[in-house]
Chains A and B, each alone.
Chain A
């Protein structure tokens, strides 16, 4: 034993006598995690968040959250002598006068963008594979909370430099707060300490950005990970993988090396990006003043959909009894986002209720095996993408030389028509894929070998599925659920069913989810089918071997067998025929 190991052992003993930690270590060092590339998405979130925290601490050493006006005297020549806020001046100082300051600032921004992007993709993965199902609904809700917090963290951070772009973003945020009925005006005055822009808001924003929001994120991330650890990770269906086991690699040493190494990869990529690719060059935009703006203003990518919603909303406003309700702001900026996040948080419960599924699910579902859920997911993505496109409608207009009014009208109508269309198309594709899976399970896969039987019939030889593929496809049996039957209005004794309405709704929803699903073959049918295919293929094998000696198989030619020396193309055939003449 080396001296380091001895020291480590002594530390472990010391800790164990006080915490009982060896019991935990003995059990958990060999804890198994399943492997799949999509499980790395969550890791990217965690690691980029750590990078954000580390770089953020560095930035707080120099940044001044103050809206007091100063004259800039730093080393960025174009802005020398310009009046600006201390917040903006200190951001310039970080960018131009502190060695490595620009690198850390850009790392902070890049890591934040990657953080939010990874959250989005991770949420897709969890949604489309049904990983949110029982027993993981609560972790899904925490995840939705984290999305909202991440957006908040991003927006508050974006606003801190007090350049022309970020100031405009704040002005819009203030306009939204002011539009809230009854309390909006007062809320805006309290938040901003009076009118816009005021002087106190920046320090309040700073507090939210460096203490309140990161603190909440840290707390929720911790719970999120503890639950993943405790409930054990889900796994994709495959050979030897069941609902009751976890197949994968042990934490020590594989995941310590892989996940640990991956942290450095994420960290390193962010550092490289920040060294090579400029992001948010605030010095170009100039200091913020409330009476100036630049054309083509764009928020960070993750706020784009909200800005897009504001842009495409028709200009509805109600004035009643001397009070104003600004639907044109409330709907896109408050009501729609509120509904979206609420629906997201409630989705696992809604689906479980509608489908009547109370089982625990540790095996992930293939998206095709849940056509309605996958359809809803794609529908939401299309809705989001359209709003996001709306956020860049001016850029689309100038880039492609289109009328901004036409784009806006396209989006207004498209937001209503295209998502349901996406739902229908996606559901149909899923059902088609299910049918193909069913075919494969019953009749094997097409080998591409065409065989002519003695009586002249051509058939394509099928091969039995490899075992691992069969295990994956068989998971459609697990996913198949019969829709709930319609409830009776009265029971056998003629007593009225008091829960008829709600049960009827539930049955309708259940039918909506499962009515069209393809009935999977039973295990017995699959085994019989595969055995039959194997038998046929075995019969064909010697014949195939015989043929291989006498024929060449021409690739890219539909698998038709050719005799050696025979023409392979029509051109060659003509050539030969001419020769014969």
Chain B
């Protein structure tokens, strides 16, 4: 046993106040002049030491109790039962019970251990010398010698062809690992076979005559359904079929639009002549900045605000950017009504929707 651990916690003959450094006098002990040391109560008063001992024991016991309570809570409280607790509000009863018992069980162990260290273990600082990090000149020389010998024995410097071909082989060998990455994407969609990513991004499901349906209820829309100042989130009529066929939501993320209606006299500019229908304008819903869906529309100013990065577009002025980080206007979808009087697209978007990309131009 080392000197460090053999200190009894406070015996009667110890002086009060500043203690002599009786705990550790081995190598590295500071001279008393260097280190002031004040005795703790548990050092000088055996009663105090015993009190600390009892405290710590109580903590460890409480920890065990908490574990038992945790198991009780686990088996007895219904997982879906809610309980009202002031401040916290209505919360899951089991979650609170499990969290409190588990947390307390762990905390008591920690608190007990730290109290033990602070009150009963020696509190005198010890000095250790640092070792030299760098090698001695002899060791440096030995390393250099070894390296030189190895270099000569291998002939790495002498065999020039060997060296160069080895470097070449090593440079090429990771190529298969890079090539293998190619099939992280394979285009399985028959509709876009042979198209490049840039081309795929530039097309949506919208075509001439495709009906516009509301998002959620998927009902076709008549112009009179949409009041002036109103906004509707909409999708192409065949969106659910596409989703079922492709087993993904990709088309929804691309062809989602918003319909807004304003007094035709308020429309200052559009992206194409007559792309509105009696003041109803269709714009992509996907922000041209980094692709968040947009639906914060202020109908008096005709401003459309992206909730992610606050790009602001003026829908009365061809969807142009008036503030924020987006660089491009919101693409407009040309619309008309079909024979039955429902709103339909009159073509696809004339520019790619969503965030910019390199090949977009």
Listed residue (A195, A314, A317, A405) with the most chain B CB atoms within 10 angstroms of its CB: A195
Mark each residue of chain A from 229 to 253: 1 if its CB lies under 8 Å from any CB of chain B, else 0.
Answer: 0011000000110011111111011
In the complex, what distance in Å separates the CA atom of A419 from the CA atom of B148?
52
The answer to whether the Cβ of A196 comes within 8 Å of any Cβ in the partner chain is yes
Q: Name the one of B97, B107, B130, B323 contacting A264, with C-beta atoms under 8 angstroms.
A: B107
Contact partners of B285 in chain A: CB under 8 A: 291
Q: Name the one of A172, A182, A307 contacting B291, with C-beta atoms under 8 angstroms.
A: A172
Instruction: Knowing A198-B248, A267-B110 are in contact, say whether A291-B126 is a contact too (CB < 8 A).
Output: no
Q: Are B80 and A96 in contact (CB under 8 A)?
A: yes
The answer to whether the Cβ of B166 comes within 8 Å of any Cβ in the partner chain is no
The answer to whether the Cβ of A290 comes within 8 Å of any Cβ in the partner chain is yes
Listed residue (A175, A293, A311, A313) with the most chain B CB atoms within 10 angstroms of its CB: A175
Instruction: Knowing A294-B307, A317-B327, A394-B310 are in contact, say whether A265-B35 is a contact too (CB < 8 A).
Output: no
Q: Are A168 and B95 in contact (CB under 8 A)?
A: no
The answer to whether the Cβ of B344 comes within 8 Å of any Cβ in the partner chain is no
Q: Are B127 and A245 in contact (CB under 8 A)?
A: yes
Report B331 CB to chain A, min CB distance, Å.
14
Contact partners of A421 in chain B: CB under 8 A: none
Q: Are A245 and B324 in contact (CB under 8 A)?
A: no
Report B287 CB to chain A, min CB distance, Å.
8
Partner-B contacts on A (CB < 8 A):
30-32, 35, 67-69, 75, 96-100, 102-103, 106, 135, 168, 171-172, 174-176, 178-186, 188-199, 231-232, 239-240, 243-250, 252-254, 257-258, 260-278, 289-297, 307, 310-317, 319, 322-326, 328-329, 332, 360, 362, 393-394, 404-405, 408, 468
Mark each residue of chain B from 313 to 340: 1 if its CB lies under 8 Å from any CB of chain A, else 0.
Answer: 0000000010111111000000000000
Closest B residue to A333 using CB positions: B290
Pairs across A and B, CB under 8 Å, 15 listed: A98-B79, A103-B98, A174-B355, A185-B198, A194-B185, A268-B106, A271-B107, A275-B97, A275-B103, A291-B286, A292-B233, A311-B309, A311-B310, A323-B358, A326-B355
The answer to whether the Cβ of B211 comes within 8 Å of any Cβ in the partner chain is no
Q: Are B114 and A258 in contact (CB under 8 A)?
A: yes
* B residues 176-223 touching A (CB-CB < 8 Å): 181-182, 184-185, 187, 189, 197-198, 200-201, 215
- Chain A binder among B10-18, B252-260, B268-276: B252-260
Report B50 CB to chain A, min CB distance, Å.
19
- Chain A binder among B116-124, B137-145, B153-161, B167-175: B116-124
In the complex, what distance in Å separates the CA atom of A439 from the CA atom of B182?
69
Q: Are B5 and A253 in contact (CB under 8 A)?
A: yes
Q: Are B361 and A315 in contact (CB under 8 A)?
A: no
Contact partners of B184 in chain A: CB under 8 A: 190-191, 193
Closest A residue to B183 using CB positions: A190
Mark each residue of chain B from 13 to 48: 1 if its CB lies under 8 Å from any CB of chain A, else 0.
Answer: 000000000000000101000111000000000000
Partner-A contacts on B (CB < 8 A):
2, 4-5, 28, 30, 34-36, 74, 79-80, 88, 91-92, 94-100, 102-114, 116-118, 121-123, 125-131, 133, 181-182, 184-185, 187, 189, 197-198, 200-201, 215, 233, 235, 247-250, 252-254, 256, 285-286, 289-296, 307-311, 321, 323-328, 354-361
Contact partners of B249 in chain A: CB under 8 A: 197, 289-290
Contact partners of A277 in chain B: CB under 8 A: 88
Q: Are A275 and B102 in contact (CB under 8 A)?
A: yes
Q: Are B309 and A307 in contact (CB under 8 A)?
A: yes
Report B265 CB to chain A, min CB distance, Å.
27
Report B75 CB to chain A, min CB distance, Å.
9
In the complex, what distance in Å separates the CA atom of A111 from the CA atom of B295?
35
Contact partners of B113 in chain A: CB under 8 A: 257-258, 260-261, 264
Q: Are B256 and A297 in contact (CB under 8 A)?
A: no
Q: Are A185 and B357 in contact (CB under 8 A)?
A: yes
Q: Name the one of A168, A239, A274 contacting B292, with C-beta atoms under 8 angstroms.
A: A168
Contact partners of A323 in chain B: CB under 8 A: 358-361
Q: Are B185 and A103 in contact (CB under 8 A)?
A: no
In the complex, what distance in Å separates the CA atom of A102 from the CA atom of B79?
10
Q: Name the one of A180, A252, A296 contacting B307, with C-beta atoms under 8 angstroms.
A: A296
Q: Are B253 and A197 in contact (CB under 8 A)?
A: yes
Q: Are B289 and A175 in contact (CB under 8 A)?
A: yes
Q: Are B358 and A184 in contact (CB under 8 A)?
A: yes
Q: Name the one of B98, B122, B197 contacting A275, with C-beta atoms under 8 angstroms.
A: B98
In the complex, what distance in Å separates the CA atom of A325 from the CA atom of B328?
12
Contact partners of B74 in chain A: CB under 8 A: 99-100
Q: Name the one of A106, A184, A252, A315 contacting B324, with C-beta atoms under 8 angstroms.
A: A315
In the complex, what distance in Å separates the CA atom of A174 from the CA atom of B289?
11
Closest B residue to A278 using CB positions: B91
Q: Are A291 and B253 in contact (CB under 8 A)?
A: yes
Q: Name the one of B98, B110, B357 contacting A179, with C-beta atoms under 8 angstroms.
A: B357
Instruction: Knowing A267-B110, A311-B309 are in contact, say whether A293-B250 is a contact too (CB < 8 A).
Output: no
Q: Are A244 and B129 in contact (CB under 8 A)?
A: yes
Instruction: Knowing A178-B356, A179-B357, A245-B129 are in contact, say whether A261-B114 is a contact too (CB < 8 A).
Output: yes
In the complex, what distance in Å separates the CA atom of A165 from the CA atom of B110?
36
Contact partners of A332 in chain B: CB under 8 A: 325
In the complex, what distance in Å separates the CA atom of A577 from the CA atom of B276?
92
Q: Are B99 and A248 in contact (CB under 8 A)?
A: no
